[in-house]
Amino acid sequence: MTMRVDLVGLTKHFGAVHAVEDFSLTIQPGRVTVLLGPSGSGKTTLLKMIAGVLRPTSGDIRFDDESVIDLPAPERDAPMVFHNALLFPQLSVEDNVGFGLRMRKTPPTERSRRVAEMLELVGLHDLRTRRPEQLSGGQQQRAALARALVVSPRLLLLDEPLANLDPDLRGEMRELLLTVQRSLGLTVLLVTHDQEDAIVIADHVALIRGGSLVQEGVVRDFFERPASAWVAMFFGAGNLIPGQRTNNEVVTPLGRLRVISESPAMGAVLVTIRPESVVLDAVEGQANTFQGRVVAAEFRGSHILMRLTAGGIDLEATIPVDDAKSHAVGSTVRVALPPEKLWPLPAD
Ligand code: ATP
């Protein structure tokens, strides 16, 4: 079952704390929307309001155009799965998974069938008689997911479901989530502070800061068209060069830089460029070239992160591991910033 969710001017104040402020977003049916933001930005508060366990101070929540503000949590069909799986310790895996169906008085034969189906889907069929304490963290997480899915929810709310998992399991869970979501056509809202989760999982990303929506779109937009310097830095843009822009030119401490960009920011700007777009060993005739000095070279597994300085500006660039030898710390290098990779942002 798929469902569209509209959050309309959603606001939650806890006394003087403005946890969520005038937040509007459409969560598309059958898609994975990731709500991304730093700690304390209001993500969990938003999720709880949608689940129905927290009442908004103002604003509306609509499921397929119908307000659910006055609908109690159990009737919303929007279960929440937390990073700590919150399974019932005294129940077996299959009884945990079947709990929601038992509450709904689903006949035993149908209940067994649906539980078995769901355990199969999350790969826990062989462990169905174990209690939660006999499962690993990742298995508990999968059991919690199965428990939420077995009731065929209209909307699945996931609060940092990957937070307690090591990198291997994280990858596995991400894949499982996507497989389940695609096969059931579920509408999913997943909360995380980890931009990698967003990159891998999201069809659509909403970035929240201080309770307000700062940008939404597909992941690529956040890399290529960040709405502010804060967004750019959150997504690891790495470089911010102050300057004064007129049309296609920005006057900066690195010289006059030509920009080819749809960004409307003019006047005082911060020009951002991702480290992987900075070119070292620029060739004759390239645009936006200048001399830089290598300050540090840090091994990052798949690449080397080069720290450079030029015109009093610190810059980051990434290069293949094998190229590091030709750029010793202290040496100079000809740098180029391709005009189409520069993205000017308002300076304030
Ligand atoms: P994290 O990623 O750390 O879980 P979050 O983005 O989920 O953070 P929330 O838990 O929604 O953030 O909290 C948003 C703000 O509201 C925080 O400043 C928090 O301290 C505050 N807050 C949350 N719940 C309450 C409450 N019951 N009473 C008072 N303040 C609260």
Are 284 and 154 contained in the same domain? no
Nearest residue (by CA) to ligand 1, atom 8, is 40
Give the domain range for residue 132: 5-222
Q: Is residue 147 part of a domain?
A: yes
Q: What is the pLDDT of residue 1?
A: 59
Q: Is residue 298 part of a domain?
A: yes
Q: How far apart are CA 121 and CA 183, in angstroms?
A: 10
Name every protein residue with a CB atom under 6 angstroms from any ligand 1 atom.
14, 17, 19, 37, 39-45, 193
Distance from the alpha carbon of residue 49 to the mean position of ligand 1, in angstroms: 12
| Residue 133 Cα distances to 91, 96, 127, 137, 140, angstroms | 10, 13, 12, 9, 9
Q: Which of 18, 1, 24, 20 is nearest to 76 (CA)?
A: 1
Are 314 and 337 contained in the same domain? yes
At 113-138, the pLDDT tens digits run: 999 988 988 889 999 999 999 998 88
Are 216 and 315 contained in the same domain? no
Instruction: Name the residue with tokens 């296609």.
Output: 248
Index of the ligand 1 atom closest to the CA of residue 44: 7
Number of domains in the chain: 2
Are 143 and 265 contained in the same domain? no
Q: How far apart are CA 288 and CA 306, in angstroms?
A: 19
The beta strand positions in the chain, using DSSP E, are 5-14, 17-27, 32-36, 58-63, 66-67, 80-82, 156-159, 188-192, 204-209, 212-217, 239-246, 249-252, 255-258, 267-273, 279-280, 289-299, 304-310, 313-319, 332-336, 343-346
- Choice from 12, 13, 14, 54 to test ligand 1 binding pocket (greatest atom count within 8 A of CB): 14
Query: ∠ CA(155), CA(174), CA(196), 5° rounding?
Result: 105
Put residue 159 in one of left, alpha, beta given phi > 0 → left and psi -120 to 50 → alpha: beta
Q: Is residue 263 part of a domain?
A: yes
Classified as helix, coil or strand, 213 is: strand
Distance from the alpha carbon of residue 128 to the mean position of ligand 1, in angstroms: 35
Nearest residue (by CA) to ligand 1, atom 29, is 14
- Choice from 41, 50, 54 to test ligand 1 binding pocket (greatest atom count within 8 A of CB): 41
Are 214 and 286 contained in the same domain? no
Distance from the alpha carbon of residue 79 to the mean position of ligand 1, in angstroms: 20
Nearest residue (by CA) to ligand 1, atom 9, is 42
pLDDT at 325 over 90: no
Alpha-carbon torsion 287, 293, 298, 304, what sign?
positive
Nearest residue (by CA) to ligand 1, atom 4, is 39
Distance from the alpha carbon of residue 218 to the mean position of ligand 1, in angstroms: 26
Q: How far apart are CA 82 and CA 162, in angstroms?
A: 9
pLDDT at 183 over 90: no
Are 214 and 247 contained in the same domain? no
The pLDDT > 70 percentage for the chain reads: 99
Its pTM surpasses 0.75: yes
At 268-286, the pLDDT tens digits run: 999 999 999 999 988 888 9
**Span 10-20, mean pLDDT?**
96
